[in-house]
Amino acid sequence: MAGAIAVFEQLLPELVRVLGPDEPETLECRSNMAYWQGEAGDVAGAVAAYERLLPDLARVLGPDDFETLNSRSNLAYWRGLAGDAAGAVAAFEELLPDLTRALGSDHSLTLGVRNNAAQWRGETGDAAGAVAAYEALLPDVDRALGSDTAHALAMRNNMAKWRGLAGDTAGAIAAYEELLPDLVRVLGPDHPLTHTARNSMAHLRGEAGDAEGAVAAYQELLADRLRVLGPDHPSTLDTQSNLASWQGRSGDASGAAAAFEELLIDRLRLMDPDHPHVLHARGSLANWRGEAGDAAGALAVFEELLPDFVRVLGAVHPQTLVTRAYLARWRGEAGDPDGAVAAFDELLPELSRVLGPDHPSTLSAQAHRARWLAD
């Protein structure tokens, strides 16, 4: 990616000198450079580059030219990845009437922008709105592109995901059960989207109360990801983490601790010690050791871990606040109920402010505080 950017950076001045700044080939080079900036991780740079490019595209090519419209779509996408989900939704929805007028309602870019608008609507917290948008979109996609296209299957996967996040676990499971045979038939059993859907299905099965079913599903998925991707692939490691978590939630705290201990070794071998995945594995290992009976050990690890979360992610990052909640809980479990209550008293206002008063982590902290207060 960095190499691609370097090539475009070298090429652009020559194109400007030889062809001029308004030549379509020059504008295309600027568009490509903006795209690869984003792909290389410079999301803010991609947004800025598209914002500079779009007035020139509209002036030279016209507001209804495909390149202009496509660049508006790209700008909205990178804006969302830069953290402005609401701005992305607004930009996609502002673009849609122009796409429909210029390209037609069945054009792949029009349908893709509707998909992106639905996806980013979910990212704003409106999971139900995302589901409604996908319910309206999917019949049009099936009609225009075909129900067995990769795009249609990916959108069905997105709708199932947002259905689960909207609280309709049973509906999401039913959607995945209907989707998975089509994914296997069309894309194959080892396609990344097939594996992604299986991962989501396993998680939802656990959330529906079948923790043992989740463990079995993750065990099957892990075997396939090890075979297809290898032991060091991020998706394989994430599956190991999910399997370990559901082992614990199924009642096997010792097994979960052992699994996270193995995972932590792999994370540290492949990642910087300050990587969030490493920090998460350390916290999960400590928690399940506590659940297995070593409350003092869990407390000691969380006391070491919290400063690292603060240093790496910041004091008010949600994961830092959750780590503080674990520390308070295990302080109580280790025999210091007054210390636990004091820690929760200090933490709860920040949890309510950052995550919201009805967030599961906030409600869990309130419950643990009440327990230790009663003791």
Q: What are the domain boundaries of the chain?
A: 294-375
pLDDT, tens digit (0-9, with 9 covering 90-100), for 11-27: 888 888 889 999 999 99
What pLDDT is attached to residue 278?
97
What pLDDT is attached to residue 2?
61
Low-confidence ranges of the chain (pLDDT < 70): 1-2
pTM of the complete model beyond 0.85: yes
Helical segments of the chain, H only: 2-18, 24-39, 43-60, 66-81, 85-102, 108-123, 127-145, 150-165, 169-186, 192-207, 211-228, 234-249, 253-270, 276-291, 295-313, 318-333, 337-354, 360-374
CB atoms under 10 Å from CB of 375, counted, come to: 9
Terminal CA-to-CA distance of the chain, rounded, Å?
A: 57
Q: Which tokens sit at 369?
A: 């505080």
3-state SS assignment for residue 23: coil
What pLDDT is attached to residue 14?
87
User: What letter represents residue 213's amino acid?
Assistant: G
3-state SS assignment for residue 316: coil
What pLDDT is attached to residue 323?
97
Q: Which CATH superfamily is domain 294-375 in?
A: Tetratricopeptide repeat domain (1.25.40.10)
